Amino acid sequence: MARLENRSRAGYLLLAAIVGHVLLISAQVNSKSGVPILEAVTFGLFAELERSTAAVTGDVRHAWGQYIDLRGVRAENDALKRQLADAQIQNQEQRALADRTRSLAEMLELRKSLDIKTTGAEIIGAGITPDFRTVTIDKGSRQGLAADMAVIAPAGIVGRIVMAGPIASKVQLLIDRNAAATALVGRSRAQGIVVGTGETRLRMDYVSTSSDVVVGDTIVTSGLDGIYPKGLVIGRIDGIDKTSGSWQIGIVPAVNFSSLEQVLVVLEPPATGEATATPQGARP
């Protein structure tokens, strides 16, 4: 075993000596260009190493540049997205302002068309249960409001005040199941009572089966209940049930109760059967 180790050691020493002689000879022997062979070989090796290193460095630099560019594009996209979101918000605000301006203009036109004293109010709350369809307005007894005053909008009847606090009032909407108003068919003058259903539609009861009533007729207030002025629009007939002794008539309200923002409160109760100017959309 010791002999094998000695032989291997001797072989390594011999190999090292041969390599050393070759390097020594290469350092002394010149190539055709006059440069020592050892220097030429060494230069070639280092040149190849430098070329490889430069290639790797270039790839890394290129990849880093692409990463920086990508981050720049992402930052630009984020900025554009924020600008788009801001523009959309501004557009919505402008649209809301335009809608409010149009609503106020309609309210002013309605006030001019009515020969009765009214005051404007804004809706600041709504009932949280479908069993009681009510809204809260921002005026109360300090502004002269009281129970049973009619509440209207440019499209037609909204409801009546059922509770007037000092600075706010509760309004029972006409679609509430406990609400009612005396009414007329605008075309034929057939009479009945419009009642709420607790949903988005109304119903007209106690209409004689001999009356001239058809789908599409406009229903207006008759003024006989002493709350709602005569001639204000309630809605349009969309169905007639002739199975009972008196017809039951389905009505689509003229007012969109889900989008109400401003209303008018009638401050003077109308005399029974009192005629008033007809608001926009009525066909008495």
- Structure-block tokens of residue 122: 């804004």
Asked if 78 and 173 sit in the same domain, the reply is no
Residue 281 confidence (pLDDT): 40
Decide if 41 is inside a domain: yes
The verdict on 78 and 210 lying in the same domain is no
The residue segments making up the domain with residue 242 are 118-266
DSSP string of the chain, one letter each residue: -HHHHHHHHHHHHHHHHHHHHHHHHHHHSB-TTSSBHHHHHHHHHHHHHHHHHHHHHHHHHHHHHHHHHHHHHHHHHHHHHHHHHHHHHHHHHHHHHHHHHHHHHHHHHHHHH-SS-EEEEEEEEE-SSTTS-EEEES--GGGT--TT-EEEETTEEEEEEEEE-SS-EEEEETTSTT-EEEEEETTT--EEEEEE-SSS-EEEEEE-TTS---TT-EEEE-STTSSSPBT-EEEEEEEEE-SSSSEEEEEEESS-GGG--EEEEE-SPPPTT-B-PPPTT---
| CATH number, position 189 | 2.40.10.340
- Written as one string, the DSSP assignment of 33-102 is TSSBHHHHHHHHHHHHHHHHHHHHHHHHHHHHHHHHHHHHHHHHHHHHHHHHHHHHHHHHHHHHHHHHHH
Considering its fold, how many domains does the chain have in total? Answer: 2
Tens-of-pLDDT digits for all 284 residues of the chain? 555 555 666 666 656 655 555 555 555 554 555 545 555 556 555 556 666 676 667 666 777 777 677 777 677 777 776 776 666 666 665 565 555 556 555 556 656 666 778 888 899 988 867 778 999 999 999 999 999 999 998 889 999 999 999 999 999 999 999 999 999 999 999 999 999 998 889 999 988 888 899 999 999 999 999 999 998 999 999 998 877 667 889 999 999 998 888 898 998 876 654 444 444 443 33
221, 107: one domain? no
Q: Is-above-0.75 flag for pTM? A: no
pLDDT at 120 (0 to 100): 86
Q: Same structural domain for residues 174 and 206?
A: yes
Whether 138 and 257 map to the same domain: the answer is: yes
Q: What is the pLDDT of residues 21-48, one digit of tens each?
A: 555 555 555 455 554 555 555 655 555 6
Residue 26 lies in a domain: no
Final residue of a domain: which of 85, 113, 141?
A: 113
Residues 176 and 44 in one domain: no
